[in-house]
């Protein structure tokens, strides 16, 4: 393995460690009753949305700053960031299920648009996370890219879920507006040094 590739592989491993630490802290604090159910739901949801926004912002940033090494690094880490976003969404869902255990109750609550948006987004994320690997990329070929474009409607559903479930939805609206502005940058010409 060439030196540069080996060095980047260490960056990937370090990134996974960094992306995992907050989840471990959340789980530990929840396990020792240091934080409440609502705080776990809030924190895991925020991490999921933040990482999702970061993953979505990579392409516009890369197009704006094509000659910058930091955007190339972000692009190469985008898969890890996206899968970590799914991991936090899975944590968010697992804690919800643990608290609300009972299929009848969960199915009844899922009829609420505030929760239905989250469930649909999660189903899309499962498909995306399951195919976020090199064998799937080779097997699906051009269909892989089509499948992964579902991230945009999934992101819209995530923000709808956040806005509809938040006690104070202003932050969700601000984050959504900023993300839309960054995504709009995809169509601007690249900035030169």
* Confidence at residue 193, expressed as pLDDT on a 0 to 100 scale: 47
* Confidence at residue 189, expressed as pLDDT on a 0 to 100 scale: 62
What are 48-87's pLDDT values in tens digits? 999 999 999 999 999 888 899 999 999 999 999 999 999 9
Residue with tokens 């926004």: 53
Domain ranges in the chain? 3-187
* Confidence at residue 190, expressed as pLDDT on a 0 to 100 scale: 54
What are 146-155's pLDDT values in tens digits? 999 999 999 9
Q: For residues 118 and 109, what is the distance between their CA atoms, to the nearest angstrom?
A: 11
Encoding tokens for residue 191? 């900035």
Contact call for residues 119 and 51 (beta carbons, < 8 A): no
Contact call for residues 90 and 25 (beta carbons, < 8 A): no
User: pTM score, two decimals?
Assistant: 0.90
User: Per-residue pLDDT for 28 more than 90?
Assistant: yes
Under DSSP, is residue 50 helix (H, G, I), strand (E, B) or coil? Answer: helix
Label residue 3 by pLDDT band (50, 70, 90).
confident
Q: From the centroid of its chain, how far is CA 67?
A: 26
Nearest 5°: phi and psi at 41?
A: -60, -45
* Confidence at residue 42, expressed as pLDDT on a 0 to 100 scale: 94
User: Per-residue pLDDT for 1 more than 80?
Assistant: no
* Confidence at residue 182, expressed as pLDDT on a 0 to 100 scale: 87
């Amino acid at each position: 393995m060439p030196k540069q590739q080996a060095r980047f592989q260490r960056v990937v491993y370090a990134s996974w460690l960094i992306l995992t630490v907050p989840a471990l802290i959340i789980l530990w604090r929840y396990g020792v009753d240091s934080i409440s159910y609502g705080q776990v739901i809030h924190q895991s949801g925020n991490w999921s949305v933040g990482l999702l926004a970061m993953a979505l912002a990579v392409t516009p940033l890369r197009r704006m700053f094509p000659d910058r090494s930091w955007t190339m690094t972000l692009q190469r880490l985008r898969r890890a960031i996206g899968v970590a976003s799914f991991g936090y969404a899975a944590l968010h869902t697992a804690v919800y299920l643990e608290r609300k255990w009972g299929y009848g109750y969960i199915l009844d609550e899922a009829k609420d648009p505030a929760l239905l948006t989250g469930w649909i987004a999660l189903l899309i994320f499962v498909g995306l996370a399951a195919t976020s690997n090199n064998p799937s990329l080779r097997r699906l070929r051009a269909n892989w890219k089509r499948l992964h474009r579902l991230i945009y409607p999934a992101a819209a559903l995530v923000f709808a879920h956040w806005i509809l479930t938040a006690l104070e939805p202003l932050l969700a609206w601000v984050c959504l507006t900023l993300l839309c502005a960054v995504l709009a940058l995809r169509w601007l010409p690249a900035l030169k040094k």
